[in-house]
């Protein structure tokens, strides 16, 4: 049975996220974007309301939502500001490896105190020498008694300057390639953990991004997730889970672009009538709407598939790739609807284009997503 | 049964304009019968002189300087029963509405508030029209007889012309059990801070300012304009959220709903949340620099341009036209 | 003490209004029902009082069609109310404030409630009559347009201010009482996600339509009959004042207000 109706519980979750997005995030979106300000007070409030650790089960102090429900929330938040949303959902990405690879003891020991207060966490996979080719990462973990000693550098790490916890992927033996990778939970106050300075970004400027250097950082063996060498698998399974909300984030950007464009088209007059009555604009809005709705449905399908216990590599890659490409096109067209005003920072649509761009790049670039899609597809043929 | 009873609410030295409007409406629904005014508490009948009622009832007693809504309801119910009138019109003030609710129960009458039009219906009923959904729609209702109580919407009806001669007045006694009713419990009164003008919800003219004023200091321009018109001052949520003015100034969905004769929006773009609070004003004027601002969709008259020179010029012109001294205008930037 | 807060489902503020087929009421098709704005302030106020008076519990009560009433009750529970009662509107019962008050009276007459809080009016019919009518039925005091409602622990009394013409009246309330809110001290809080999830499973006390029918029988004869529901003619957009100087804009506007609109004082 196919049923597109949301339950009343889902509607109330979405309404709550919408209210938070409109009243707490949207009023500050332009200012944070302009100044590149990290609005810690908004993130703290998001945590207080249970919007932050959405994927962590309630037994460890999180909100414990199904992926589908997470996506409903992420779309609403991203409608107000994709950058803030990235910072709010960065915890989900950083904590997912613990949920997937951690023992019961590790989950309680690490997540219980983490979720009980306002804390940020960062997922540290990408390195300066390459992000997509995760198998060849260079950060090294040397076993020393009951510790590992980490050395290396991670880059483009969301929330890194403010995080109190990092999930770090490092290799114990580069010659083993994927099989040498391990995942570690590293506390910020470990000696030799050195976040860099915040990057100046094109979009997502309310989010903070920096490098993190590890210089002889000693991490207890008890903080390794999974069996020795299981790190790469944990990273990939994590991304399978968290890729779909990026589709939701992109959908939120696209919805915002259409909302702005349609409202503007109805009040802006040329040639004696609102531009919404010109077919050139109607065709744009119709195409934008098709892209939006397809993006949302693909995201929902991917989330639904994963919630039903399947890995959903194909579905989530399709959702993330399609939705972020759609957001890019829709934001682009929204600027065109606004004409010259759309190019001005005083109006809200140029930010959407800058924000949409990142969704095509992070959490696996869209080129990687297409490789995944093709691989999944071709596997089905003899 | 014919005739109608109107409550006259005392104010310092007179009765409220809402009371005079109630008397005018009472004439419409009296169906040829007498219009009776009820004046409660000490202060004599002086305040009612000139008010065109056919008879005037007064009632005095302990604690009636400032009666509770329960006491008003009991007095009105008692007077109406003694007179045999079928209809009671209560002034459309905030407290008047509360009296309607209590009175409907006590007197077993059908009831309505915010009435903007009323005509006599079939079989002793009344047909009334009232705005709903913040003025975005209106409904017409039939209030069944034999008894009705209602409050007109402020300013929806004009005040009746003054009577040439005062109506004969008579006193009525307090109803039984009156001393058991809840009293007002008022301990003091604080005039609205910073506002010399009329109360926002009751004013016939409201001047509101929004984000376009840019600084809390330039909100003075709005207050000066309001003063020149004898208007109440309102604000958009942007202004009250920023703390330029207290939240009691806020007009809109989460603030006050107003329906004055004239609403002037200065530097307000016109978000739907604001519109629902003022759209039922009779005449709306918008002054805004953005010709695309949604406020111009609901306004009757628009001035597109920089408010900083326009608003002081307007204040000056109004003061001139009304014969007021030039006054403290043009104190804002620009 | 026990506080009751009355919560009414009303169409969402963004509802596109249109008359129903009979032309006498709002077409409910596609309408999203939410907690009325002033009632949300009443819930906020109830929770603030609960937080400041030890041993206080808050019960939300709603009258209306079952599904709508329960939806706003769950919202009230998610915000922090301890319990909820849904008073089912019998099929065919008129939407009228006196009928609503009688139905709520039934729910309240069975409890020892010290304070009943409600919004000063609901954003749909905007009558403002339910609170005072209910107070009269209960035979207790009622305080309308209330702001700054506080509990004075030293004297165990409720103080509040009433926003009336020209200012604020300070009042020491006698309990039990109905207090109709103009504004809580705070903007209404946002429900936390985990509380929303919990509220979905919360038990709601139900007063079935059969019980309600007899309670509203007497006032039903007083209910207003709906004859028409109309939308105002669409505003055609502002007439723009043309001008060359601010002084000219001012002169023209004043002339129009005086001669055309006839609203110049």
Residues B314, B209 within the same domain: yes
How far is B9 from B22, CA to CA, in rounded Å? Answer: 10
How far is C44 from C76, CA to CA, in rounded Å? Answer: 9
Give yes or no for a contact between B93 and B17, defined as CB atoms under 8 angstroms apart: no
Picking from A116, A150, A181, the residue at the C-terminal end of a domain is A116
- Taking one residue from B and the other from C, the number of pairs with CB-CB distance under 8 angstroms is 269
Instruction: Identify which of A299, A328, A359, A293 has the alpha carbon closest to the alpha carbon of residue A86.
Output: A359
Q: Average of pLDDT values for B62-73? A: 91
User: pLDDT value at position B332?
Assistant: 40
Report ipTM for this prediction: 0.91
Q: Which domain holds residue B277?
A: 205-321
Picking from B180, B213, B241, the residue at the C-terminal end of a domain is B180
Residue burial C224-240, b: 16+ Cβ < 10 Å; e: rest: bbbbebeeeeeeeebee
Picking from A192, A211, A232, the residue at the C-terminal end of a domain is A232
Does the pLDDT at position A33 exceed 90? Answer: yes
Q: Which domain holds residue A193?
A: 121-232
The CATH number of residue B40's host domain is 3.40.50.620
Q: Is C217 on the interface with B (CB under 8 A)?
A: no
Handedness of CA B276, B277, B280, B284 (dihedral sign): negative
Instruction: List the structure tokens of A362.
Output: 């992070």
User: pLDDT value at position B258?
Assistant: 86
pLDDT band at B333 (very low <50, low <70, confident <90, very high): very low
A partners (3+ CB pairs within 8 A) are: B, C
Instruction: Identify which of C32, C9, C10, C35 has the alpha carbon closest to the alpha carbon of residue C189.
Output: C35
Higher per-residue confidence, A302 vs B184: A302
Residues A274, A341 within the same domain: yes
Give the position of tokens 């991304």.
Answer: A239
Helices A349-359 + A313-338 axis angle, to 10: 160
Lowest mean pLDDT among B110-124, B224-238, B240-254, C116-130: B240-254
Does the pLDDT at position A169 exceed 70? Answer: yes
Q: Is residue A50 part of a domain?
A: yes
The two most distant CA atoms of chain C are separated, in Å, by 70
Residues A251, A220 within the same domain: no
Q: pLDDT tens, C189-205?
A: 999 999 999 999 999 99
* Chain A residues inside the 8 Å CB shell of C195: 50
Residues B176, B258 within the same domain: no
Residues A197, A300 within the same domain: no
B partners (3+ CB pairs within 8 A) are: A, C
Helix (H, G, I), strand (E, B) or coil at B72: helix
- Going by DSSP bridges, is the β-strand pair C239-240/B301-304 parallel, antiparallel, or unpaired? parallel
pLDDT band at B194 (very low <50, low <70, confident <90, very high): low
Q: pLDDT tens, A133-164?
A: 777 899 999 999 999 999 999 999 999 999 99
Residues A18, A68 within the same domain: yes
Residues A53, A94 within the same domain: yes
Q: Which CATH number fits domain C2-220: 3.40.50.620, 3.40.50.1440, 3.40.50.1100, 3.40.50.880?
A: 3.40.50.620
User: pLDDT value at position B280?
Assistant: 81
* Chain A residues inside the 8 Å CB shell of C9: none
Helices B69-83 + C130-138 axis angle, to 10: 80
Mapping DSSP onto H, E and C, the string for A223-272 reads HEECCCCCHHHHHHHHHHHHHHHHHHHHHHHHHHHHHHHHHHHHHCEECC
- Is the peptide bond prior to C176 cis by the omega test (within 30 degrees of 0)? yes
Residues of A marked as catalytic: 363
Instruction: Identify which of C67, C59, C11, C64 has the alpha carbon closest to the alpha carbon of residue C36.
Output: C11
Phi, psi torsion values for C31, nearest 5 degrees: -75, 135
Give yes or no for a contact between A313 and A236, defined as CB atoms under 8 angstroms apart: no
The size of chain C, in residues, is 265
* Chain B residues inside the 8 Å CB shell of C229: 132, 137-140
pLDDT band at B329 (very low <50, low <70, confident <90, very high): very low
Residues A245, A174 within the same domain: no
Listed by start position, the domains of chain C span 2-220, 233-265
The distance of A290 to chain B (nearest Cα, Å) reads 27
pLDDT band at B334 (very low <50, low <70, confident <90, very high): very low
Q: Is residue A1 part of a domain?
A: no
Residues A248, A299 within the same domain: yes
Q: Is residue A3 part of a domain?
A: no
Residues B215, B129 within the same domain: no
Q: pLDDT tens, A119-135?
A: 999 999 999 987 667 77
Mapping DSSP onto H, E and C, the string for C1-48 reads CEEEEECCEEECCCCCCCECCCCCCECCCCCCEEECHHHHHHHHHHHH
Instruction: List the structure tokens of C33.
Output: 């029902």
Chain C contact probe: residue of B123, B133, B192, B292 with most C CBs at under 10 A: B133
Q: What is the distance in angstroms between the CA of the first residue and the CA of the last residue of chain C?
A: 52
pLDDT band at B85 (very low <50, low <70, confident <90, very high): very high
- Is the peptide bond prior to B146 cis by the omega test (within 30 degrees of 0)? yes
Calculate the CA dihedral of residues B326, B327, B328, B334 and round it to 10 degrees.
Answer: -20
Instruction: List the structure tokens of A343.
Output: 């190019």
Picking from A61, A85, A116, the residue at the C-terminal end of a domain is A116
Helix (H, G, I), strand (E, B) or coil at A157: strand
Percent of chain B with pLDDT over 90: 59
Instruction: Identify which of C223, A137, C220, C155 has the alpha carbon closest to the alpha carbon of residue B142.
Output: C223
Would you call C196 and A20 a contact, using CB atoms and an 8 Å cutoff? no
pLDDT band at B196 (very low <50, low <70, confident <90, very high): low
Percent of chain A with pLDDT over 90: 92
Would you call C196 and A13 a contact, using CB atoms and an 8 Å cutoff? yes
Does the pLDDT at position C225 exceed 90? Answer: yes
The CATH number of residue B269's host domain is 3.40.50.1220
Residues A274, A361 within the same domain: yes
Would you call C193 and A12 a contact, using CB atoms and an 8 Å cutoff? no
- Say which DSSP state A153 is in: E
Would you call C200 and A58 a contact, using CB atoms and an 8 Å cutoff? no
* Chain B residues inside the 8 Å CB shell of C171: 184-187
Q: Average of pLDDT values for C112-134? A: 95
Tell me the sheet residues that pair with B119: B127
């Amino acid at each position: 049975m196919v049923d597109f109706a949301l339950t009343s519980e889902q509607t109330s979750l979405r309404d709550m996220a919408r209210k938070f997005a409109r009243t707490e995030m949207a009023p500050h979106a332009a200012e944070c974007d302009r100044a590149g300000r990290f609005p810690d007070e908004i993130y703290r409030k998001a945590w207080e309301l249970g919007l932050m650790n959405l994927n962590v089960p309630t037994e460890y102090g999180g909100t414990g939502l199904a992926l589908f429900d997470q996506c409903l929330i992420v779309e609403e938040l991203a409608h107000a500001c994709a950058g803030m949303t990235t910072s709010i959902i960065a915890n989900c990405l950083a904590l997912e490896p613990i949920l997937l690879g951690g023992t019961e003891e590790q989950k309680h020991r690490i997540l219980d105190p983490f979720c009980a207060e306002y804390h940020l966490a960062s997922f540290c996979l990408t390195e300066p020498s390459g992000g997509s080719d995760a198998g060849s990462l260079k950060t090294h973990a040397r076993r020393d008694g009951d510790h590992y000693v980490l050395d290396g550098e991670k880059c483009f790490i969301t929330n890194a300057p403010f995080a109190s916890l990092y999930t770090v992927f490092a290799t114990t033996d580069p010659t083993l390639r994927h099989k040498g990778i391990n995942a570690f939970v590293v506390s910020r106050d470990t000696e030799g953990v050195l976040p860099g300075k915040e990057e100046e970004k094109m979009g997502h400027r309310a989010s903070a991004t920096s490098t993190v250097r590890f210089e002889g950082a000693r991490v207890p063996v008890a903080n390794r997730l999974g069996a020795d060498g299981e790190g790469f698998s944990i990273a990939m399974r994590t991304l399978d889970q968290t890729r779909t909300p990026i589709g939701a984030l992109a959908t939120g950007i696209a919805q915002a672009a259409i909302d702005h464009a349609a409202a503007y088209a109805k009040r802006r007059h040329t040639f004696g009538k609102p531009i919404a009555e010109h077919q050139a604009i109607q065709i744009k809005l119709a195409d934008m709407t098709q892209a939006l709705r397809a993006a949302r449905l693909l995201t929902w399908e991917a989330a639904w598939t994963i919630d039903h216990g399947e890995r959903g590599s194909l579905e989530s890659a399709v959702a993330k790739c399609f939705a972020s490409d759609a957001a890019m096109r829709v934001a682009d067209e929204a600027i065109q609807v606004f004409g010259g005003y759309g190019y001005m920072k005083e109006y809200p649509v140029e930010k959407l284009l800058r924000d949409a761009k990142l969704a095509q790049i992070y959490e696996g670039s869209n080129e990687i997503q297409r490789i995944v899609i093709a691989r999944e597809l071709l596997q089905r043929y003899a | 049964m014919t005739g109608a009873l109107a409550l006259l609410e005392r104010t310092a030295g007179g009765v409220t304009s809402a009371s005079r409007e109630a008397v005018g409406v009472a004439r419409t629904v009296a169906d040829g019968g007498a219009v009776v005014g009820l004046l409660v508490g000490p202060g004599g009948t002086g305040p009612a002189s000139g008010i065109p009622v056919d008879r005037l009832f007064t009632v005095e007693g302990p604690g009636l300087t400032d009666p509770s809504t329960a006491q008003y309801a009991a007095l009105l119910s008692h007077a109406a029963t003694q007179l045999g009138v079928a209809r009671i019109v209560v002034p459309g003030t905030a407290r008047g509405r509360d009296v309607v609710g209590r009175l409907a129960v006590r007197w077993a009458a059908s009831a309505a508030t915010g009435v903007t039009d009323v005509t006599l219906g079939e079989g002793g009923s009344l047909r009334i029209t009232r705005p709903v959904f913040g003025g975005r729609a209106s409904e017409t209702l039939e209030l069944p007889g034999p008894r009705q109580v209602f409050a007109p919407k402020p300013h929806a009806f004009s005040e009746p012309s003054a009577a040439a001669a005062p109506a004969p007045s008579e006193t009525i006694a307090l109803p039984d059990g009156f001393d058991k009713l809840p009293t007002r419990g008022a301990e003091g009164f604080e005039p609205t801070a910073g506002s010399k003008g009329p109360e926002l919800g009751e004013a016939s003219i409201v001047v509101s300012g929004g984000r376009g004023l840019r600084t809390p200091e330039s909100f003075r321009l709005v207050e000066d304009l309001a003063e020149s018109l004898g208007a109440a001052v309102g604000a958009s949520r942007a202004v009250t959220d920023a703390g330029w003015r207290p939240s009691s100034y806020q007009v809109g969905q989460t603030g006050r709903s107003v329906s004055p004769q004239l609403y002037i929006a200065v530097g307000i773009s016109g978000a739907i949340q604001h519109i629902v609070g003022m759209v039922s004003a009779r005449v709306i004027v918008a002054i805004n620099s953005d010709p695309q601002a949604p406020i111009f969709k609901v306004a009757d008259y628009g001035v597109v341009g920089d408010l900083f020179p326009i608003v002081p010029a307007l204040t000056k012109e109004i003061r001139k036209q009304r014969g007021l001294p030039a006054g403290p205008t043009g104190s804002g930037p620009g | 003490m026990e506080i009751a807060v009355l919560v009414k489902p009303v169409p969402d503020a963004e509802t596109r209004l249109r008359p129903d087929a009979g032309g006498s009421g709002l077409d409910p098709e596609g309408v999203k029902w939410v907690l009325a704005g002033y009632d949300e302030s009443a819930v906020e106020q109830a929770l603030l009082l609960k937080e400041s008076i030890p041993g206080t519990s808050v019960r939300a009560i709603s009258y209306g069609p079952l599904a709508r009433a329960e939806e706003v009750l769950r919202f009230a529970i998610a915000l922090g109310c301890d319990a909820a009662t849904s008073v089912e509107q019998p099929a065919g019962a008129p939407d009228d404030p006196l009928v609503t008050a009688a139905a709520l009276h039934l729910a309240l007459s069975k409890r020892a409630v010290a304070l009943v809080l409600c919004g000063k009016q609901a954003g749909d019919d905007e009558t403002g009559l339910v609170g005072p009518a209910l107070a009269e039925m209960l035979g207790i005091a009622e305080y309308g347009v209330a702001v700054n409602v506080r509990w004075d622990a030293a004297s165990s009394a409720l103080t509040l201010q009433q926003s009336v013409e020209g200012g604020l009246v300070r009042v020491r309330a006698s309990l039990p009482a109905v207090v109709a809110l103009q504004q809580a001290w705070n903007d209404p809080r946002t429900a936390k996600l985990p509380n929303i999830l919990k509220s979905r499973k919360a038990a709601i006390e139900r007063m079935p339509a059969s019980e309600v029918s007899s309670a509203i029988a007497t006032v039903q004869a007083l209910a207003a009959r709906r004859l028409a529901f109309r939308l105002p003619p669409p505003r055609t957009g502002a007439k723009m004042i043309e001008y060359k100087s601010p002084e000219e804009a001012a002169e023209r506007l004043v002339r129009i207000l005086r001669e055309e609109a006839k609203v110049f004082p």
